[in-house]
Amino acid sequence: MKQFIIRVYGLIINQKNEALLSDEFVLDTKMTKFPGGGLEFGEGLLDGLKREFQEECNGQEIENIRHFYTTDFYQKALFFDDAQLISIYYLADLKQPLKFKISEKAFDFKIDAGETQSFRWVKIKDLKEDEITFPIDKFVLNKLKATFNE
């Protein structure tokens, strides 16, 4: 059955022009991406984005949410047969105080202990496409570099 998969992501950029990345282990795969995830049926985009941050970031709230980019080309969904991915990216700020740990290194968790996610800051100018897992995130990274060049 042909379907659309809708995903919503938060682009969190700090004062040092660093982007918040999520390192995850899902479906037996290590992945580095921008924080966010799948929209649930009956949910609006902003509600979905806020829910994702609440779920993934220990109850973290976000604010100052503004649209950055929506997929405007065909992107096949990687984990679904016969599905098209539509991704919506929003710039947002983390509401203080922070409620989750920021790591210094990638994949700073123990899979065998049941942990599957960590977060870290990376300078946008230093971030390379091959450090990001998904094709659409690589595309958005280049848009971020054009917007937040130093």
- Which pLDDT belongs to residue 111? 79
Q: Whole domain around residue 117: which residue ranges?
A: 3-140
- Which pLDDT belongs to residue 41? 94
Q: Is residue 145 part of a domain?
A: no
Q: Answer whether 120's CB lies under 8 Å from 139's CB.
A: no
Report phi then psi at 67, rounded to 5.
-65, 140
Q: Is residue 101 part of a domain?
A: yes
In tens, the pLDDT along 78-137 reads 777 789 999 999 999 999 999 999 999 999 988 776 778 999 999 999 999 999 999 999
pLDDT at 76 over 90: no
3-state secondary structure (DSSP) of residue 34: coil
CATH number of the domain within which 85 lies:
3.90.79.10
CA-wise closest residue to 19 among 92, 100, 71, 97: 92
Q: Is residue 147 part of a domain?
A: no
In tens, the pLDDT along 132-141 reads 999 999 999 9
Q: Is residue 150 part of a domain?
A: no
- Which pLDDT belongs to residue 150? 59
What is the pLDDT averaged over residues 33-40?
96
Q: Is residue 123 part of a domain?
A: yes
Q: Which of 1-5, 43-47, 61-65, 106-110 has the lowest mean pLDDT?
A: 1-5
Q: Is residue 99 part of a domain?
A: yes
Q: Is residue 68 part of a domain?
A: yes
**Count of domains in the chain?**
1
